[in-house]
Amino acid sequence: MACAFSGTSIIRCKHLKKYFGLALATLFSVGCGGLTFLVPLTPTVIIEPTWTLSPLPTQTEIATATQTFIPTDTATISPSPTFTDSPTLTLEPQWYLQGPGEVVVPILLYHHIDNSPSDNNYYISPYEFEKQMYILHEWGYTTISVEMLVTAIKQGVMLPPRPIILTFDDGTKSTFTNALPIMQKYNFTGTSYIVYNYVGVDNNYMDVEQIRALAAAGWEIGSHSISHVDLTQRPERERDEIVDSRHKLEVLLNVPIESFAYPFGAYDRSSVDYAHFAGYHAAMGLGLQSLQSDKNLFYLYRMDINRNTDLTAFASLLPWREDMNNLPALTLIP
């Protein structure tokens, strides 16, 4: 039994589920011995387009990797809504599998991010440091951890198209007061290598709470020995400086210590053996290349950045670089 209402139908509720489904019905009235519903004869169906990601970039496409959406199915509905502004969709660069074996990951080495009181070569002003971070950000670099690099070398792991590691030696206080807030502006994290005897010793070095705050902000903490001696000149100190420093720092800071940085970049066969014996996953050295592999896992190449490294020299160290003249203007106060 049904009654016509201007192109719609009233249908008893006991038949509704069979023919239309409860979700399509709109309650109209009560009568004729049961509930009745007003149901449009032609329901409106909204079809969302389906999207698929473009193929992953190859190794040769790392420097220019981009990501786009390709429509695979388009539905046309009449009448179609009209938008005054077309929405845009922005995606982060797509991560992809790198390793195992050789991977390209530049590692940069810093010390003091501060104005030098005596033109010390280990100091870089916060003004110059932020310009470097800005270039890395604009050129699409993404910071990764040392642990991610180790995993990539050993078994392969998903990494961003332009990975980079930023390291800071000695546990200087400016790492916390200056480097951390600048890097947070660009969503960067780093690794701080701590000399045990320097922790909280004076106003130039971080105390325990500041180092823990770095770890809480997503930074890695590593060992830079007990007293920062040249291990190749003091072989009798190698066990204490390499092995014991890990245990002492973990107890002091209550954070994991998984990598070691040789003081002055100086090492020999026995210091590498002690780094293995201590249980570190990797160790940092010095070098001017970005190709890392299992062959140098315990002497990863790091490029020293100092007060003499201008922007041109800085850019020349990077494996993926673009024209600096095309960078958007950056206004900083020196």
Domain membership flag for residue 180: yes
Domain membership flag for residue 50: no
| Tokens linked to 119 | 């033109």
Q: What is the pLDDT of residue 119?
A: 84
Domain membership flag for residue 168: yes
In this structure, are 267 and 184 located in the same domain?
Answer: yes
Q: What is the pLDDT of residue 332?
A: 67
* Summary count for the chain: helices (H), strands (E): 10, 20
Domain span including residue 239: 97-322
In this structure, are 214 and 280 located in the same domain?
Answer: yes
Domain membership flag for residue 187: yes
Q: What is the pLDDT of residue 325?
A: 82
Tell me the whole-structure pTM to 2 decimals: 0.72
Total domain count for the chain?
2
Domain membership flag for residue 301: yes
CB 93 within 8 A of CB 64: no
Q: Is the Cα torsion angle 147, 152, 158, 163 positive or negative in sign? A: positive
pLDDT in tens, 316-334: 999 998 888 887 777 665 5
For the chain, percent helix, then strand, then coil, each to nearest 5?
Answer: 30, 25, 45
Render 180-195 in DSSP notation, one character per residue.
HHHHHHTT---EEEEP
Domain membership flag for residue 72: no
Q: What single letter denotes the amino acid at residue 311?
A: L
Domain membership flag for residue 159: yes
Phi, psi (rounded to 5 degrees) for 191: -125, 125
Which secondary-structure segment (H or E) carries 97? strand 96-98
Q: What is the pLDDT of residue 92?
A: 61
Closest CA to 306 of 106, 116, 105, 104: 116
Q: What is the pLDDT of residue 330?
A: 72
Mean pLDDT by 10 residues, the chain (334 residues): 40 41 38 40 40 39 36 37 40 82 97 92 95 96 98 96 97 98 98 98 95 98 97 95 98 98 96 97 97 97 96 94 80 63
Domain harbouring 246, CATH code: 3.20.20.370
* 69-105 burial: b if 16+ Cβ within 10 Å, else e: eeeeeeeeeeeeeeeeeeeeeeeeebbbebbeeebbb
In this structure, are 120 and 214 located in the same domain?
Answer: yes
